[in-house]
Amino acid sequence: MPVAPSLPRRLGVVSATAVVVGTTIGSGIFRSPASIAGRLPSPTVLMAVWIVGGVLALCGALTLAEIASALPRTGGFYAFLKEGWGDLPAFLFGWTELVIIRAAALGAVATTFAEYALRLRHGPPIFGSAAADVHDVAAIAIVVLAVVNVIGVRLSAMVLEFTVFAKYGALLFIVAIALLVHPPAVATVTAPVIPVAASTSITTGAFALALVSVLWAYDGWGDLTFIAGEVKAPSRSLPIALVGGTAAVIAIYLAANLAYLAVVPIGDMPASKLIAADVAQRLVGQWGVLIVGVAVVLSTFGTLNGSLLTAPRVFFAMAEDGLLFRQLGLVHRRFKTPYLAIALSASLGVAFVLLRTFEQLADTFVTAIVPFYALGVAAVFTLRRRADWAPPFRVPGYPVVPALFILATVYLLGSSLLEPSSRWPTIAVFAVTLAGIPVYWFIRSR
């Protein structure tokens, strides 16, 4: 199989783990709990959906660790899909990554960046994407970071590791104060298991939609594979980073949600759009909002930078294989960066952020990427049939672990199609993905 341009392996296991944690903890845990509580008005069910999402993410990471340890190639899922299923599924992933996935991710993360930045500036809550200035600030952030990435980000690894400490530290700060300094408030988490009113309103469709938001928060466990070709000792480092980083994220997410529930009643949570800052304000006042706000701004800024840094590697691999227009793989003569791919991704991200809300962006992202996650995980079944398949790491619990992830994906997509509020957006995402088929045949014909 042709591979993307060779890049030096400079990332050790610590840096690789930082990539997993840093790209996963972006905006979801600081923003999604409000919409999730609106769909699941029960503390127990809310915690359950975060646990289910964590289990699914871990199943995916464990399976991906086996594939990545044997195929540590630049491009990540693109390389896995090409090896396991052939050119067309791999191309459709790259196509969808270009026109939907990356744009929606950039838009959602940039929206949270803008919301918390404006919260720091103005004081009163800015209720998300209804405010025009949120869209403007988010768009500017995407453009600025696109320029930075075109020029070249020499200290990107250092910035990523710094923002990892900022975002993880902010969550630990909230958890410590809420659960240690104010232990009586924890009773509010366990008091109502499923209130009578909530039990009549919680449906399987509502749980599935909430799970979409949770998976948005957990997304990032597979992004390390995009730069697998730059990880030292990949057969050892990739499994440790993928599984260890995902486990660390699950632990802090569950603790953070317990802290949120300890401070903000479940009935008030849907109105708390900037939940982390609101919890800090209730606990320690305005200076707590400042600490958390700065941490979230740094967190989302770093995630935006990482997103614009890693995604072009997929386009590089596709262009090298002749499955993408060569122009998108062009390297700037002076800065040595894929400037056209970065510019196109940023342009689509700006368009998405100006036209859609955070919830729409996050739901679009998950709907678009989940089928490819399932195909990537399912590739382990085809790869294990090969006589020469000898991965350094094997997923424990095979075939149950990958099958569980795939079945959950089918349930998620089926529920999205059956739920009236999400049916047509889901169909629209699938239509855009399938529109890549004629593009694929056109490129192959040339």
Predicted confidence (pLDDT) per residue in 209-251, tens digit: 888 889 888 988 888 888 787 788 888 999 999 999 999 999 9
Q: What is the DSSP string of 84-143?
A: HH-HHHHHHHHHHIIIIIHHHHHHHHHHHHHHHHHHHHH-S---GGGSHHHHHHHHHHHH
pLDDT in the model for residue 324? 81
Distances (CA, A) of 383 to 191, 240, 370, 389: 48, 21, 20, 7
pLDDT digits (tens, 9 = 90+) for 256-291: 999 898 888 888 888 887 788 888 888 877 777 788
| Cα dihedral 32, 294, 176, 210 in deg (nearest 10) | 0
* CATH classification for the domain delimited by 13-390+397-445, as one of 1.20.1740.10, 3.40.50.620, 2.40.50.140, 3.40.640.10: 1.20.1740.10
**Mean per-residue pLDDT, 354-371:** 84
Task: Give the pLDDT band (50/70/90) at residue 7.
Answer: low
- The average confidence (pLDDT) of the chain is 82
Among residues 335, 347, 334, the alpha carbon closest in space to that of 308 is found at: 347
Among 443, 434, 445, residue whose Cα is nearest residue 89? 434
Using 50, 70 and 90 to split pLDDT, how confident is the model at 184?
Answer: very low
367: left (phi over 0), alpha (psi -120 to 50) or beta: alpha
Alpha-carbon distances, residue 407 vs 247, 374, 420 (angstroms): 21, 9, 22
Q: What local confidence, expressed as pLDDT, does residue 96 receive?
A: 94
Residues in contact with 217: Cβ distance below 8 Å, sequence separation at least 6, in sequence order: 28, 29, 32, 53, 253
* Per-residue confidence band for 403, with pLDDT thresholds at 50, 70 and 90: very high
Which residues contact residue 315 at a Cβ distance below 8 angstroms, ignoring those fewer than 6 apart?
A: 94, 98, 324, 328, 329, 338, 341
Amino acid at 340: L
Express as a percent the part of the chain with pLDDT over 90: 27
Question: In the predicted model, is pLDDT for residue 43 greater than 60?
Answer: yes
Q: What is the pLDDT of residue 365?
A: 86
DSSP designation for 192 = -
What phi and psi, each to the nearest 5 degrees, are found at residue 74?
-65, 135
Phi (first) and psi of residue 227, to 5 degrees: -115, 30
- Could you tell me what percent of the chain has a pLDDT over 70? 89
Q: What are phi and psi of 221, to 5 degrees?
A: -65, -20
For every residue of 147-167, DSSP letters joined together read HHHHH--TTHHHHHHHHHHHH
For residue 244 the two structure tokens come to 């260890």
* C-alpha to C-alpha distance for 279 and 174, rounded to whole angstroms: 8
Q: Are 110 and 141 in contact (CB under 8 A)?
A: yes
Q: Give the predicted TM-score (pTM) of the model.
A: 0.83
pLDDT at position 2 over 60: no
CA 378, distance to chain mean position in Å, is 20
Distance between CA 84 and CA 383 in Å, rounded? 6
Which is more confidently placed, 236 or 187?
236
Q: Comparing 123-137, 293-307, 394-408, which segment has the lowest mean pLDDT?
A: 123-137
- What's the pLDDT tens digit per position in 79-137? 899 999 999 999 999 999 988 998 888 988 898 888 888 877 755 444 444 456 888 88
Q: What is the pLDDT of residues 330-355, one digit of tens each?
A: 777 777 777 888 888 899 899 988 88
Would you say 291 and 116 are in contact if contact means Cβ atoms under 8 Å apart?
Answer: no
- Supply the DSSP string of 317-337, one letter for each residue: HHHHTT-S-GGGG---TTT-S
- pLDDT of 287: 79
pLDDT at residue 191 greater than cutoff 80: no
Mean pLDDT of 35-51: 90
Q: What band does 375 get if pLDDT is binned at 50, 70 and 90?
A: very high
Residue 387 CB burial class (10 angstroms; 0-12, 13-18, ≥19): exposed
Greater confidence (422 vs 136) lies with: 136
Q: Which of 406, 396, 399 is nearest to 376 (CA)?
A: 406
pLDDT at 159: 67
